[in-house]
Each structure stands twice: as C-alpha cells, then as structure tokens.
C-alpha cells in the first residue's frame, strides 16, 4: 500500500495546548495513523506555547497580509509531532486560553484568527509546503470549518476533505457582513455555502462542503441526525447521511498506562488490580478525604457544564454519602456548579472534596484511585475520561448517550454472566435514574468478587487507537480513490 499524506488542521493539540478531548485526539491520532501507512502533518496556530516547543523551526512560506498582519508558516517537530505552525503575532501571540481571555470572554477577532487557520490550510492543501502535498485535508470542529470553503472557492485542483465533529454544540457563527473581510466570495452566501440562519456558519460550511463528515462515535453520528441532537444541523446532516459516519476515539495508551504512569502512587495492570489500592489512599490524602480503604470513592474529572450532567451529581450527592461513599471531583467551568460543589465540600468535610481547576497530574490520580468514575452527560460525542477509567480500573458510571453508549457495557445480570460488563449505564439523564445507578454501583461493589471481575473486564477493554486508526485510513483511501488518486 502506498503512503498517503494527510494534513490535519486543528486549533489545539496535546501536549502543547489543550482545553479538552479535541487536543487529545489531534495529538494521538497521527502516531496511530503512521502504523497504517498514513503520514500526517498537523497545522496549528502559533500560540506562544506552540512556538516555544517547536524544535528547529524552518520558515516554509511567508504571507504578506493574513487578516491584518504579516505571517510565516513554520515547519518543525514538537512533542513527537510533525507540525506546520502559523506564526502571526497579531492573531495568536497572547497569553492563556486559545479561545478567550482570562475572564472567559471570546477574543473579539476569533472569526479572523480561525479563518486564518483555514486559509493557510487551504493554501497548503492546494500548493503544498516544504515538499509535502496532502491528498486529504482533515479538519476538526468549527475553528477549521472554513477550510473546505476556501478550497472549493479557490477553483484550482484540491485534495479530498474530511470534517470531523468533536462537539456539535460549538458552531462558530458570525455576522454576515464579515463575508468580504473573510475573503469569501458573494456566491458563498447561500444554503450550499456558508450561510447558516442568516449568519456565517463556520462549522456549517465545513459540514456542507467537505467530501466526508465524521464524528467521534457511531451513536452520536445517529443522534445528530435527529432534531434535538442535531442542534440546528440535523437537516443538513440527514441530507448528507451517505457521507456521514462515526469513528470512535481511542486514548494514547502510552500516556495513560497504569503500569508505568509517573503521575500515580502505585503501578498496576489487569493482571494485578489489587496493586491499585495505594492510589486510593494517595487520592484521599491529596484531596483531603477521610483515609478509608472501605469507603467507595466516586470520582469526576470534567468540564463543569450543563452538557456533562454534573448538576445531577450535586443533587444526588446524598445517595453517594448514604451508601458510605465519598466524592472526589476535579473540574472547572460554570460558576453555579463550582459554587455548588464548593458548598457541598464545606458541608461534608472528609467525604466530599473538590479541586476546581485544570490539573493533569491529579486527573491521573483520580483515575487510578477512584472506585467509580462518573460521566453522567446529557450528550457526549465520544468522551475520553470513561476510556481512561476503563484502562485504570475505575468503573465508569455513565448515561446511555453518544460515545458513552458505544464504549461502556452495562453490568446487568446477563452481561455479568457473559463476562462482558464494564460499567453502570443509565438512562434517561435524570437525577432519579442517577441515584438508582449509584445504588446499583454500590450493590455491585459489596460483592468484591463481582467487582474484581468488573475491573478486569474494564481493564482488558481495548481503548487504544488501533481499531479506529485503521477506519480513518480506510476512509482516506476510499476518498482518494473516489477522487481519482
């Protein structure tokens, strides 16, 4: 099989810049695709952290005016990835979060910051750069949605395009009078172009104009074709059902490997789950929970938002405590949830603990030390934390939506008999059902032989990228063949 070259275009990439699962995927997929004979280069904005990490950068292109200032495209390696980086101080040289300022207010020039990413992607797609000529340009989420539009309107021969939806809730909509400033032609304004409910829709453009659309689980691929799950795009996605598919995410099993993880207190694997115990003590100590090996620790590592359903955890906290459990929560996000969990921790010292913030190392310890990892999302395109939980033997307690439904097998009696259960799955996402799920988890935990079996099943689940990387490779090859090689 001949090598295939793909340009991945993304607004964050682990470990250089990360606000969520998107970065994890962008960071891990290139390595997995290399095993499939696919060479990936990743184009990212030159945020300060990216530029600082770039080894031996070379200037491959100079752009006189990229939406208000000069820019260079640099090529180099960082963190094991082959990168193209857009060095444009006026767009990306600012501290903190890639999307907003320290108060959570979106950078006002975001339409230009991400149009620039798409514009450079299209230029590399058509002209190549540093000897690299991608046959496929693979874009991720709304920030890169205009890529397909710039490629299409350029008029020259273009590579195939794939748009992946990591979260349909973020769509990137901007006023229509920006059309000329974004270098989009007048005829882009229409249902087959960028027009979306009388605004310019970045994600919409990508989903309308890319050759293939994927999302990160088969169930989410089905959900987004329905009215509610489609968040305004169900009609478009149903109309394009023939080119929409779901490919599950994996996790980087070298970063998430409990047998060697430097961020946890004791190493273990599926053959030695009892070696996991010191992590629970370490977690209880680190979070200020009462040190008690018998107390069941319910963990959370999450953005605190409506999507993630953590209001159910707050409302159902008494059920966790009534079953003798403890809550260990790591998260950041919405003010009312932050306040709620802080109040709960103050009301139940030693039994409820929360760390508000982003902490990579504590995230690993929660996965290694908690008995249960809760992801009660209202919708979840794929979800990565439940995959980490499987690998670390924290039994996932999840809603039956999106990728959670596709990755966790409910430990009902039949599944236990068949030796396949890996978690506790509930539906619908309502606090009463959440409470019942907590009680079910506690009942399962009481029988330690059943619990050990669950942990082994969970830890033996293949959560690597191998299966899904071969699906992406097949999709790319199919697309290249369709477009005449």
User: For residues 383 and 396, which CB has a smaller minimum distance to ligand ADP in the complex?
Assistant: 383
Using CB under 6 A, which of the segments 66-74, 114-122, 355-363, 441-449 binds ligand ADP? Answer: 355-363
DSSP 107: P
Handedness of CA 344, 345, 346, 349 (dihedral sign): positive
Does 404 contact ligand ADP by CB under 6 A? no
Using CB under 6 A, which of the segments 20-28, 138-146, 204-212, 418-426 binds ligand ADP? Answer: 20-28
User: For residues 112 and 341, which CB has a smaller minimum distance to ligand ADP in the complex?
Assistant: 341
CA proximity to 394, closest of 424, 435, 354, 434: 424
Using CB under 6 A, which of the segments 28-36, 285-293, 358-366, 444-452 binds ligand ADP? Answer: 358-366
Using CB under 6 A, which of the segments 33-41, 62-70, 187-195, 356-364 binds ligand ADP? Answer: 356-364
Interacting residues of 418 by C-beta distance below 8 A, sequence separation 6+: none
Which token pair is 447?
A: 């029988």
Q: How buried is residue 365: exposed, middle or buried, by Cβ count under 10 Å (0-12/13-18/19+)?
A: buried
3-state secondary structure of 336: helix
DSSP H/E element including 374: strand 372-375
User: For residues 114 and 256, which CB has a smaller minimum distance to ligand ADP in the complex?
Assistant: 256
Query: Pattern of binders to ligand ADP over 315-334, x per CB under 6 A?
Result: ---------------xxx--
Which token pair is 291?
A: 């040190």
Contact (Cβ atoms closer than 8 angstroms) between residue 356 and residue 342: yes
Does 385 contact ligand ADP by CB under 6 A? yes
Which token pair is 242?
A: 């023939």
Neighbours of 293 (CB within 10 A): 10
Which token pair is 376?
A: 């009660």
User: For residues 114 and 220, which CB has a smaller minimum distance to ligand ADP in the complex?
Assistant: 220
Does 463 contact ligand ADP by CB under 6 A? no
Residue with the CB atom nearest ligand ADP in the bound state: 21
| Residue 25 C-beta: closest distance to ligand ADP, Å | 8
Does 302 contact ligand ADP by CB under 6 A? yes
The residues with which 396 forms a beta bridge, in sequence order, are 373
The residues with which 130 forms a beta bridge, in sequence order, are none
User: For residues 21 and 258, which CB has a smaller minimum distance to ligand ADP in the complex?
Assistant: 21
| Residue 24 C-beta: closest distance to ligand ADP, Å | 5
- Please select the residue that binds ligand ADP; options are 221, 384, 395, 469, rule is CB under 6 A: 384
Interacting residues of 385 by C-beta distance below 8 A, sequence separation 6+: 301, 302, 367, 373, 375
- Please select the residue that binds ligand ADP; options are 93, 318, 360, 478, rule is CB under 6 A: 360
User: For residues 137 and 330, which CB has a smaller minimum distance to ligand ADP in the complex?
Assistant: 330
| Residue 357 C-beta: closest distance to ligand ADP, Å | 6
Does 15 contact ligand ADP by CB under 6 A? no
Taking the C-alpha atoms of residue 453 and residue 423, their distance in angstroms, rounded to an integer, is 11
Taking the C-alpha atoms of residue 240 and residue 345, their distance in angstroms, rounded to an integer, is 48
Which token pair is 346?
A: 């103050």
Does 366 contact ligand ADP by CB under 6 A? no
Residues that bind ligand ADP (CB under 6 A): 20-21, 24, 301-303, 330-332, 358-360, 363, 383-385
């Amino acid at each position: 099989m001949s090598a295939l070259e793909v340009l991945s275009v993304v607004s964050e990439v682990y470990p250089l810049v990360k606000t969520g699962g998107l970065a994890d995927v962008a960071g891990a997929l290139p390595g997995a695709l290399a095993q499939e004979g696919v060479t990936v280069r990743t184009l990212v904005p030159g945020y300060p952290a990216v530029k600082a990490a770039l080894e031996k950068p070379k200037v491959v292109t100079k752009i006189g005016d990229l939406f208000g200032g000069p820019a260079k495209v640099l090529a180099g390696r960082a963190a094991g990835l082959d990168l193209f980086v857009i060095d444009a101080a006026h767009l990306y040289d600012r501290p903190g979060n890639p999307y907003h300022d320290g108060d959570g207010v979106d950078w006002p020039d975001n339409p230009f910051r991400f149009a620039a990413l798409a514009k450079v992607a299209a230029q590399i797609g058509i002209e190549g750069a540093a000897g690299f000529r991608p046959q496929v340009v693979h874009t991720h989420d709304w920030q890169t949605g205009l890529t397909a539009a710039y490629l299409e309107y350029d008029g020259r021969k273009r590579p195939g395009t794939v748009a992946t939806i990591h979260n349909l809730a973020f769509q990137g909509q901007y006023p229509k009078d920006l059309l000329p400033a974004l270098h989009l032609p007048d005829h882009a304004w229409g249902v087959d172009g960028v027009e979306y409910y009388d605004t310019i829709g970045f994600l919409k453009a990508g989903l309308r104009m890319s050759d293939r659309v994927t999302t990160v689980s088969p169930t989410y691929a089905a959900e987004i074709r329905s009215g509610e799950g489609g968040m305004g795009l169900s009609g478009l996605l149903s109309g394009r059902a023939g080119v929409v598919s779901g490919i599950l995410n994996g996790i980087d099993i070298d970063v998430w490997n409990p047998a060697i993880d430097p961020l946890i207190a004791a190493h273990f694997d599926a053959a030695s789950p009892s070696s996991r115990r010191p992590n629970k003590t370490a977690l209880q100590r680190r979070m200020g929970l009462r040190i008690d090996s018998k107390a069941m620790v319910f963990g959370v590592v999450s953005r605190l938002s409506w999507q993630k359903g953590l209001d159910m955890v707050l409302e159902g906290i008494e059920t966790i405590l009534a079953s003798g459990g403890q809550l260990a929560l790591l998260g950041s996000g919405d003010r009312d949830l932050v306040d709620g969990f802080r109040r709960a921790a103050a009301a139940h010292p030693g039994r409820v603990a929360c760390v508000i913030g982003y902490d990579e190392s504590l995230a690993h310890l929660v996965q290694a030390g908690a008995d249960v990892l809760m992801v009660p999302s209202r919708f979840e395109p794929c979800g990565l934390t439940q995959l980490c939980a499987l690998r670390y033997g924290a039994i996932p307690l999840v809603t039956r939506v999106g990728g959670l439904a596709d990755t966790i097998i409910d430990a009902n009696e039949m599944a236990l008999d068949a030796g396949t259960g890996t978690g506790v799955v509930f539906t619908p996402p309502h606090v009463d059902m959440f409470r019942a799920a907590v009680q079910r988890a506690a009942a399962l935990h009481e029988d330690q032989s059943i619990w050990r079996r669950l942990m082994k099943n969970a830890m033996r689940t293949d959560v690597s990228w191998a299966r899904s990387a071969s699906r992406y490779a097949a999709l790319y090859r199919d697309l290249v063949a369709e477009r005449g090689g």
